[in-house]
Amino acid sequence: MAGIKAEPFTFPARPRELALIVIDMQRDFAEPGGFGASLGNDVSRIARIVPDVKRLIESFRAAGLPVIHTMECHRPDLSDLPLSKRNRGNPSLRIGDEGPMGRILISGEPGTAILPELAPADGEVVIEKPGKGAFYATELGDVLKKKGITQLVFAGVTTEVCVQTTMREANDRGYECLLAEEATESYFPEFKAAAIAMIRAQGAIVGWTADVDDILEAIAHA
């Protein structure tokens, strides 16, 4: 595979060491009645990126490259949920409360599930994470090491919170990170723009960013 056209410069892709990480494309964040909506957010912004996320997933699958999904969720007994997280912002629905799609962000509940259009295929890794970053209190690091992965392409939500946090965690662990710009989103467009600028500033201090079409073109020739 040739390098992937990206900002601030070409991403030096190595296909045998490349994986796609799809962050938290869950019903609770993308559908009316879920946790995202309970915080007063316009969830339609999240739904709009589904086609581009799907194109990325299908391209990685076709190329035989790993696809890893994450889900932000907690144990039914809330033992892994700090009170500071549950109570923040005084939302109308808190994590663990009953909502229109079951208990909010609880493992196994309907609303916690990944959107059907982006559902993991048989054999794909799904990481259940209790925090914003996908490395905290999860097996992600071990999974990547076993697969020989050193480079990560990121999609999912939200850009400035769980996606950027995971990219920063990955960067500190030595992974080269590339964000697919049209396949990530925030409830606040200015936050997405700021996160992209921060990620690729100072010579890709956290990582690179690229258009989905440029990533797909490179993957197709992997």
The model's pLDDT over 84-94, given as tens digits with 9 standing for 90+, comes to 999 887 777 89
pLDDT of 25 strictly over 70: yes
Q: What angle do CA 134, 98, 191 make, to 5 degrees?
A: 40
The full set of domain ranges for the chain reads 15-26+54-79+112-220
* 3-state percent helix, strand, coil for the chain, nearest multiple of 5: 40, 20, 40
For the annotated catalytic residues, the residue numbers are 24, 129, 162
DSSP state of 96: T
Q: Provide the CATH topology of domain 15-26+54-79+112-220.
A: Rossmann fold (3.40.50)
Closest CA to 170 of 213, 127, 212: 127
Rg (CA), the chain: 17
- pTM for this one? 0.97
- φ, ψ (nearest 5 deg) of residue 43: -75, -15
What tokens does 192 get?
């997405």
pLDDT in tens, 153-170: 999 999 999 999 999 999
What phi and psi, each to the nearest 5 degrees, are found at residue 202?
55, 45
